[in-house]
A and B are shown apart, each in its own frame.
Chain A
Amino acid sequence: MNEDHVDHELVAYLDGELDTADRARVEAHLAHCPACAAALEELRALSRDLDATFDAAMSPVRLSYDADSRIRSVLRDRLERPHWWWALWQKRGLMAQAAMALLLVLFSFRTYYVFRLPAPPPPQETLVLGQNRFAPGTEAALRVIVRSAEATLGAVPVAGAEVAVRLASRLVYEGVTDASGSAEVAFTVPDDLSGAADLVVETRSAGGEDRIVRPITIERAYKIYLAGDKAAYRPGQRLHARALVLDAVDFKPVTGQEVALTLADAQGRQMAYTVATLSAFGVAAWDVDLPMTASPGTYTLRASLGDTVSERAITVDTYALPAFRVTVATAQTFYTPGDWVQGTVDAAYFFGKPVAGARVKVRGQPDIEVSGETDARGHFDFGFALPAASTGEAMALFEVSVEVVDTAGQVVGVRHPLPVAPQSILIKAVPESGALKPGVENTIFVLTAYPDGSPAETTLTVTIQGRPYSAVTAYGLAALRYTPTAETATVDIVARDAVGAEGHDVILLQTDHGPGTLLLHAERAAYTVGDTLRLEAWLTGDAPTVYLDVIHARQMAAALSAPVVAGRATFALDLDNSLVGALELRAYTVAPDGSLVTDSRLVVVDAPGRLAVDVDADRETYYPGETAHVHLQTSRQTNGHTEPVEAALGIAVVDTSVYALDTLPPGFARAYFLLDPTMWERRDAARLDAPALLEATADVRAAQDVAAQAAWAGAPAVDFSLSATSTATSVDGATRGRRALAGQLTWVLALLPLAVSVIVVRGLAPAGVLRRALRRLGWGLLGAVFLAPLAVAGAVLASFLSGVATAVTVGLVSLILVLVGVALIHGWRGGDVRMQVIAGLLLVYLLLGGLLVLLAAQGHGPTGGWLVLLVATFLWLSGALALLGQGWVVAGRRAVGWVTTALAILLIFLVLMLPAVPALTSDLTRALGNPLVYAGPLAWMIGCTMPTPEVIVETVEVEKTTEKTVEGAMPVETSPTPSPMPTTGAQVTPLPVLAEPYPLRHIFPETLYWAPEALTDADGTLTFDLPLADTITTWRLTALASTRAGDLGAATYDLVVFRDFFVELAVPDVIQVGKPLTITATIYNYLPEAQNVTVSAEPGAGYTVLSAADTRVVPPDAVASAPIVVRPEERGVFTLRVKAEGVQMSDALAVEVTVP
């Protein structure tokens, strides 16, 4: 037997399960091996029998009827019971496609809606106007205007734009614009802010978003009222200064701050300096001793706090005090050339007695001289004729000099200017806005005044550009209404008063030129808290809105706007306590090009309350050296109610012979504080008596109001120190809608590839082909690495052929759609759910992707990370498709598989072509079509430089407009007048301070008492004893009171010191050692009868008495003089004692004589 028997393969041979080679081998063996052939036959028989046996045994075996029924019912039950989910699951392919269809329908609707949204509105423009300075804790305002910046349409206000304002990154305002596009931003400046900060204004509307940042300063603004005891000092005297500092916004005292006080001489050299802390009433005081060597001149006292500086001029001179006061008065306050001047001279001693029997000489250029003697009342009448020749048209002053020599030989000279005008009524015409505004009705103020400046009640005959007017002036003022048409207006005015005096003038008024005209009209110039400020703006042009800014203490306090109706806009502003002081009202319109047409008015708002100061003393007249009991009462008067109030008083008691000036009205300081520097400076222009404007009775006040309107007309407007314009890029509803749509599309397009890949993997995994398909895909990708340069070259080529690219792209899209459509139909016909779903998803992906590409081309595409996500998911989708294709190829469906793979490659070709299509260019197509992305892993490594999507940055052009600091930012508050004013100090001294540093037995101070900060108690009372000095004179007490609330009040009171008999010494200016010095002793006798008086000088150190005792009779009410001759023996100071001994009364005094 052959060794290689095949018996173990015979069964397979019989069953036909051997392959050809084995079969041949077995047959070959069987041919020559009978044993195996026999075994085969045996097996064949067995196999046949087994077949038959199984057939016979099992054919009858069937499931029993009972079991069949049971199983069938179980199956039916199972098939029917979970019907709904079963049905759903059964129809999952259908549902997936329905979902995709729904997705498409939804996006179609969404797209339809988004693209039907109105066209993007023009981009918005934001204007911010205001001041760059804010005071902490105050109410501030800002003007924010939002409008469309479309030049062709004209600027249309944007209503409802959101406005947010941040100050030092704190949100202080949020609101929306009104119909005029303006937001009246009002906010309280945080109290704890100070220094430089950023003001941020953010606006947002359909037209875009703006953000404007401007540096501002948060700082308190102050007003400093600087006063001294006197206006003139001699070297060696002590200067008392008092600074009252109030907040410029709320007029409350500024406390705790340090004020720098300096004194500079005539050459500007700083002589003294101190820093004083402000008290609870905002008062700082400073005393400076002027050196004996101080050179004469005009010195400057300066107080500064922050950037607020207040100055006051002081005269330093070796003056001699006058012996008596001479007053000149004329019958008329003005004259015309050739008139007869009738006048009087009155002379009185400072203690009140008339200067009788004095020789008077009245002189005037060129040759006028009248002389005579005063009568017992110190009175002298004079008269003379003015020269006939007129020097010219303008008014001139004719100076009359008067010299009075009393019986004691004391000389006092005064000069008296007489206004001499070419005509007896002077006429002035002022348009209310400074210049005429064309096209609207202007008010022209006509002022008629006598040459002395007093208002003339006249009847006017006026012709303006040939058109007659007639009017009557009240308080010398009339208001005419005129609408200018020409460049200039000739105003011909004839004014005639009741007594026939006449004036005539022709005034040429200029018309203001500007792009448009705006005239702001205020009813009055002065208001009180509680009033309503009514304003009308008249304008030409077609501006729809007039804006009104209310600027208070350099800070915008309110921003109003009003619509223009029939060329007119009206405003009403209720004045409250926060607006006390000067208000600048600035009305403006904004032209389409952003330029402003402006007009402004100045008004003053007065506090309703008054601080009254009442001064009283125990007697009317005192003897020298006596003590006066002075009582002061401060009370606040509001609407007729009087209540005592605690106040700080600056009290000065000064010799009236020093005070050779008119009494300042009590309201002077108030007016100084309430008016702003511009208003203060312009008060002379229309003879505005500022204190009277605020204080006087109603009718005077009304006159002053007109004067104030005229005075402040055309005052230069404060510039907007904060002004900015910015234009935003437009973000309208349509754009937002498109962006949102693009965002949703991005989401869907990122998710679809994931769904596709899940289905692909699930489909391939059970069939066991996933691994092989993946392997094939990997090889393919690896191959693609080496094809990367080809892809790049292809893309470059495509970019050159942009015209062809469009056609190619259209072709590719068509081809892909056809393939997908075929796959869809194929899937349906073949009942292949998987293919249906994948084809459907691909179709949806293509359609939505196309929509996103279109949106992206309009600039609404995804950016940044979304872009990267889209590119990544697209790659994922291509990979999934290629995988599916290869899977099918592996599973034997070769045609379908390769078509699917080709589809994946076609998709990549399509996106590579997209950037070359001009109409579709966007970041999205550039990123998708970046060849580096598809060049495989290698290119990925090189191409980390790849899709750097250029993020579209919204450019906000912030136009730098004029941003000016307010006039040098250093407001210089000049001292109101070089006149002595009551003042204050930090220390309260219950006892009077005898200020003059002269250690005299008899004391002759010029300033008797100085209390810079004397406080009244809660009842508003202050009582103090005032030891009077030895001077026989009238002391003037001035008191300036201020409260913690910032109310101001002032009062003056005269204290007379007198005795019936006394002597005074007049020491000449020129003193030399060793030379006889004649000192005149003036003897005043007001005793009822004549007195025999002996005047003698007592010998003393430093001098030798040369004259003998002088004895003479001095009649009653007479003044006599006796010379005393001494010889100074050495340089230095000696004290000369002189006695005047009479029978009834005697007097003795000592004076210090300085020998240089």
Chain B
Amino acid sequence: MSVLAVGMSRPCAGQAIGAAIVRAVARWVFAITGDRRAAEVGGVSTAELITRFQRGQPRTFEALYDRYKDYVYRVAFFVTRNREEAEDAVQETFLDVLKALLDYDVNGPARFETWLYRVTLNRTRMRMRRQSLPSAEWDDVEEQLERLPSPSSERPETVYLDGERASTLWHAVDQLPEEQRAVVMLRYQQGLAYNEIAAVLGIREGTVKSRLYNAHRKLQQLLSVG
């Protein structure tokens, strides 16, 4: 681990060879142990993780979990607006994935993420049948947006966005109908393409297009009113 720490703590060293050696060793360690950290360090692809899991290395599933747990949590949290519900959804989602992963075709046409988010959404929606109020963490998000710093020349990428606009926008998004909200979330939070969104939600691509259009119109309306 010390080697890894050294490798990571000197980003500026630029020693490509050393990094490659580190990655190779990590991959080797991963191949033997299935260790999740070695997987990360070695840059093992998701497909390889899945293949190894399917071939009988259960520990690789933990690497997979580490890689996707936050993405899954964000989806769940966004949909449920409730931390505990989202956490439970994450657990159920990964248990589902654990069961289904053996039959997952790595060479299939769909990306793993698409499949994962579909499972996540299914789980989360099942939990959503029990109505639960937004938890404090959800409100924290908006408050956090409000505290965003003002535009500065040092951070040109956030030049347009001040805290007020962000929280207003976030508030508007929160007011969108549920199906538009999901499309927007997948588009902006997860950065999925239209066809991927269609696959996750099980709808046609045209529907994704129109929902997104409607969502933007609605957001513009909400902002102009606000």
- A residues bordering B, Cβ < 8 Å? 8-12, 15, 17, 42-43, 45-54, 56-58, 60-64, 67-68, 70-72, 74-76, 78-80, 86-87, 89-91, 93-94, 766-767, 831-833, 891-893
Tell me whether B154 is interfacial, beta carbon within 8 Å: no
User: Are B87 and A71 neighbours in the complex by a CB distance under 8 Å?
Assistant: yes
Also in contact, A57 and B166, with CB within 8 A (given A8-B213, A71-B91): yes
Q: Which residues from A are CB-within-8-Å of B160?
A: 45, 48-49, 52
Closest to B104 in A: A766
User: Are A50 and B55 neighbours in the complex by a CB distance under 8 Å?
Assistant: no
Most chain A Cβ neighbours within 10 Å, of B56, B185, B212? B56
Q: How far is the CA of A624 from the CA of B223 in the complex (A)?
A: 170
Q: Which residues from A are CB-within-8-Å of B165?
A: 49
Closest to A39 in B: B220
Q: Which residues from B are CB-within-8-Å of A12?
A: 194, 209, 212-213
User: Are B213 and A57 neighbours in the complex by a CB distance under 8 Å?
Assistant: no
Q: Which residues from A are CB-within-8-Å of B69?
A: 63, 68, 71
User: Are A50 and B73 neighbours in the complex by a CB distance under 8 Å?
Assistant: no
Also in contact, A52 and B209, with CB within 8 A (given A57-B144, A61-B73, A833-B55): no
Also in contact, A11 and B188, with CB within 8 A (given A58-B74, A767-B108): no
Also in contact, A63 and B73, with CB within 8 A (given A52-B166, A80-B58, A831-B51): yes
Instruction: Encode B42-65 as 1/0 by CB contact (under 8 A) with A.
Output: 000000000110111111011001
User: Are B54 and A17 neighbours in the complex by a CB distance under 8 Å?
Assistant: no
User: Smallest CB–CB gap between A26 and chain B, Å?
Assistant: 13
Q: Which of B5-13, B21-29, B94-102, B116-124 contacts A (4 or more CB under 8 A)?
A: B94-102
Closest to A834 in B: B105
User: Are A87 and B56 neighbours in the complex by a CB distance under 8 Å?
Assistant: yes
User: Smallest CB–CB gap between B223 and chain A, Å?
Assistant: 8
Tell me whether B203 is interfacial, beta carbon within 8 Å: no
- B residues bordering A, Cβ < 8 Å? 51-52, 54-59, 61-62, 65, 69-70, 73-74, 77-78, 83, 87, 90-91, 94-95, 98, 102-103, 105, 107-109, 137, 141-142, 144-145, 148, 157-158, 160-161, 165-166, 169-170, 173, 184-185, 187-189, 193-194, 209-210, 212-213, 216, 219-220, 223
Also in contact, A53 and B61, with CB within 8 A (given A63-B69, A90-B55): no
25 interchain pairs, CB-CB under 8 A: A10-B213, A12-B213, A15-B212, A42-B220, A45-B160, A49-B166, A49-B169, A51-B188, A56-B161, A56-B166, A62-B70, A63-B73, A63-B90, A64-B87, A70-B87, A75-B62, A75-B98, A78-B95, A79-B58, A87-B56, A90-B55, A767-B105, A831-B51, A831-B52, A833-B54
Closest to B167 in A: A53
User: Are B90 and A71 neighbours in the complex by a CB distance under 8 Å?
Assistant: yes
Q: How far is the CA of A267 from the CA of B34 in the complex (A)?
A: 122
Also in contact, A90 and B54, with CB within 8 A (given A8-B213, A60-B144, A72-B62): yes
Pairs of residues from A and B, 5 with the lowest C-beta to C-beta distance, nearest first: A90-B56, A67-B87, A54-B188, A63-B73, A79-B58
Q: Which residues from B are CB-within-8-Å of A10?
A: 213
User: Are A58 and B209 neighbours in the complex by a CB distance under 8 Å?
Assistant: no
User: Are B55 and A766 neighbours in the complex by a CB distance under 8 Å?
Assistant: no
Also in contact, A70 and B145, with CB within 8 A (given A61-B73, A75-B61, A79-B58): no
Q: How far is the CA of A832 from the CA of B160 in the complex (A)?
A: 50
Q: How far is the CA of A74 from the CA of B87 in the complex (A)?
A: 13
Q: How far is the CA of A64 from the CA of B91 in the complex (A)?
A: 12
Also in contact, A71 and B94, with CB within 8 A (given A57-B145, A60-B144, A89-B102): yes
Q: Which residues from B are CB-within-8-Å of A74?
A: 91, 95
Partner of B209, one of A11, A57, A61: A11
Q: How far is the CA of A540 from the CA of B173 in the complex (A)?
A: 121
Q: How far is the CA of A17 from the CA of B54 in the complex (A)?
A: 35
Q: Which residues from A are CB-within-8-Å of B193?
A: 17
Partner of B189, one of A58, A70, A91, A94: A58
Given contacts A52-B158, A52-B161, A75-B61, 16 further A-B contacts (CB under 8 A): A11-B213, A17-B209, A45-B160, A49-B165, A53-B145, A61-B74, A63-B90, A70-B87, A74-B95, A75-B62, A75-B65, A75-B98, A78-B98, A86-B58, A87-B56, A90-B54
User: Smallest CB–CB gap between A823 and chain B, Å?
Assistant: 15
User: Are A62 and B108 neighbours in the complex by a CB distance under 8 Å?
Assistant: no
Q: How far is the CA of A955 from the CA of B107 in the complex (A)?
A: 60
Chain A interface main SS type? helix
Q: How far is the CA of A831 from the CA of B209 in the complex (A)?
A: 38
User: Smallest CB–CB gap between B201 and chain A, Å?
Assistant: 15
User: Smallest CB–CB gap between A32 and chain B, Å?
Assistant: 22
User: Smallest CB–CB gap between A507 and chain B, Å?
Assistant: 104
User: Smallest CB–CB gap between A731 and chain B, Å?
Assistant: 49
Q: Which residues from A are CB-within-8-Å of B189?
A: 54, 58
User: Are A90 and B58 neighbours in the complex by a CB distance under 8 Å?
Assistant: yes
Q: Which residues from A are CB-within-8-Å of B161?
A: 49, 52-53, 56
User: Are A70 and B70 neighbours in the complex by a CB distance under 8 Å?
Assistant: no
Q: How far is the CA of A1107 from the CA of B65 in the complex (A)?
A: 164
Q: Which residues from A are CB-within-8-Å of B55?
A: 90-91, 93, 831, 833
User: Smallest CB–CB gap between A87 and chain B, Å?
Assistant: 7
Q: How far is the CA of A43 from the CA of B173 in the complex (A)?
A: 15
Q: Which residues from A are CB-within-8-Å of B212?
A: 11-12, 15
Partner of B103, one of A67, A68, A766: A766
Q: Which residues from A are CB-within-8-Å of B157?
A: 52
User: Are B194 and A63 neighbours in the complex by a CB distance under 8 Å?
Assistant: no
User: Smallest CB–CB gap between A250 and chain B, Å?
Assistant: 85
Closest to A91 in B: B56
Q: Which residues from B are CB-within-8-Å of A767?
A: 105, 108
Closest to A87 in B: B56
Q: How far is the CA of A9 from the CA of B54 in the complex (A)?
A: 43
User: Are A63 and B188 neighbours in the complex by a CB distance under 8 Å?
Assistant: no
Closest to B159 in A: A52
User: Smallest CB–CB gap between B135 and chain A, Å?
Assistant: 12
Q: Which residues from A are CB-within-8-Å of B78?
A: 58
Partner of A831, one of B54, B73, B83, B109: B54
Partner of B194, one of A15, A43, A90: A15
User: Smallest CB–CB gap between A827 and chain B, Å?
Assistant: 12
Closest to B141 in A: A57
Partner of A46, one of B56, B61, B148, B220: B220
Q: How far is the CA of A56 from the CA of B61 in the complex (A)?
A: 29
User: Are A56 and B145 neighbours in the complex by a CB distance under 8 Å?
Assistant: yes
User: Smallest CB–CB gap between B84 and chain A, Å?
Assistant: 8
Q: Which residues from A are CB-within-8-Å of B108?
A: 767, 891
Q: Which residues from A are CB-within-8-Å of B184?
A: 50
User: Are B170 and A57 neighbours in the complex by a CB distance under 8 Å?
Assistant: yes
Most chain B Cβ neighbours within 10 Å, of A61, A70, A86? A61
Q: How far is the CA of A52 from the CA of B163 in the complex (A)?
A: 11
Q: How far is the CA of A62 from the CA of B51 in the complex (A)?
A: 27
User: Smallest CB–CB gap between A768 and chain B, Å?
Assistant: 9
User: Smallest CB–CB gap between B111 and chain A, Å?
Assistant: 14
Closest to A14 in B: B216
Closest to A763 in B: B105
Q: How far is the CA of A50 from the CA of B109 in the complex (A)?
A: 30
Closest to B53 in A: A90
Q: How far is the CA of A94 from the CA of B57 in the complex (A)?
A: 13
User: Are A53 and B170 neighbours in the complex by a CB distance under 8 Å?
Assistant: yes
Closest to A893 in B: B107
Q: Which residues from B are CB-within-8-Å of A93?
A: 55
Q: How far is the CA of A766 from the CA of B144 in the complex (A)?
A: 44
Q: How far is the CA of A676 from the CA of B15 in the complex (A)?
A: 125
Q: Which residues from B are CB-within-8-Å of A45?
A: 160
Closest to B36 in A: A72
User: Smallest CB–CB gap between A517 and chain B, Å?
Assistant: 83
User: Are A15 and B166 neighbours in the complex by a CB distance under 8 Å?
Assistant: no
User: Smallest CB–CB gap between B77 and chain A, Å?
Assistant: 6
User: Are A61 and B141 neighbours in the complex by a CB distance under 8 Å?
Assistant: yes
Q: How far is the CA of A175 from the CA of B62 in the complex (A)?
A: 73
Q: Which residues from B are CB-within-8-Å of A48?
A: 160
Q: How far is the CA of A70 from the CA of B142 in the complex (A)?
A: 27
Q: How far is the CA of A71 from the CA of B137 in the complex (A)?
A: 19
Q: Which residues from A are CB-within-8-Å of B77?
A: 61
